[in-house]
Amino acid sequence: MRIDEYRKYDGLGLAGLVADGEVTPRELLDCALGQVKSIDPRLNAVVRVMSEQADDQLTRPLQGPFAGVPFLIKDLSQDYAGLPTSSGSRSLTDLPMPEHSTVVQRWLDAGLVIFGKTNTPEFGAKGITEPAVHGATRNPWDRSRTPGGSSGGSAAAVASGIVPVAGANDGGGSIRIPAACCGLVGLK
């Protein structure tokens, strides 16, 4: 699949292509990883690439409504077993999580192929995504501007076409602010 084709679809559209056998989950993952490689150096939306974990997922049958769709999780409250969830803080960058958080397990059960973690301000405490540990995330529409926060890395990844959908969370505007900054629809 070419990048221009990949970017035309939302998550359900890509899942439909996989279900119909028109594209493989590997092809979709390769597109998403290619987007990270070509786009993310200018945005800093993805703070951890999880190729090994994604490759492991592809060795097993994928089931669910989003089977085979590449997906990024937020590096805050979205724990992936064996990997740190830094929450944008230097104090947590080396502390691996013992198990998947409930929401991450549900996304895996839905067939999403998790291949990375997105940037967030320290402990999600700001409406901008500029943690000292990972650096600032930039808005794909205008890199002199913020994508908002605290789900700014996820919003920047979706708006730039790295993925059609990404994990976020919201306690005080952390989905709504980045959605507004990046011209997206955010679901809380």
CATH number at residue 39: 3.90.1300.10
Residue 21: which domain range?
Answer: 3-182
Q: Are 177 and 183 in contact (CB under 8 A)?
A: no
Q: Residue by residue, what is the 3-state secondary structure of 73-112?
A: EECCCCCCECCECCCCCHHHCCCEECCCCHHHHHHHHCCC
Is 150 marked active-site?
A: yes
Query: Could you tell me if residue 188 is inside a domain?
Result: no
Q: Which residues of the chain have pLDDT under 50?
A: none
Query: Could you tell me if residue 136 is inside a domain?
Result: yes
**For residue 138, what are the contacts with CB-CB under 8 A and spacing of at least 6?**
42, 43, 44, 144, 145, 146, 147, 156
Query: Could you tell me if residue 144 is inside a domain?
Result: yes
Is 74 marked active-site?
A: yes
Q: Which two tokens stand for residue 32?
A: 């998403």
Query: Could you tell me if residue 20 is inside a domain?
Result: yes
Tell me 70's DSSP state. E
The pLDDT of residue 187 is 87
> Based on the structure, what is the number of domains in the chain?
1
Catalytic pick from 87, 150, 151, 154? 150
Write down the pTM of the prediction.
0.97
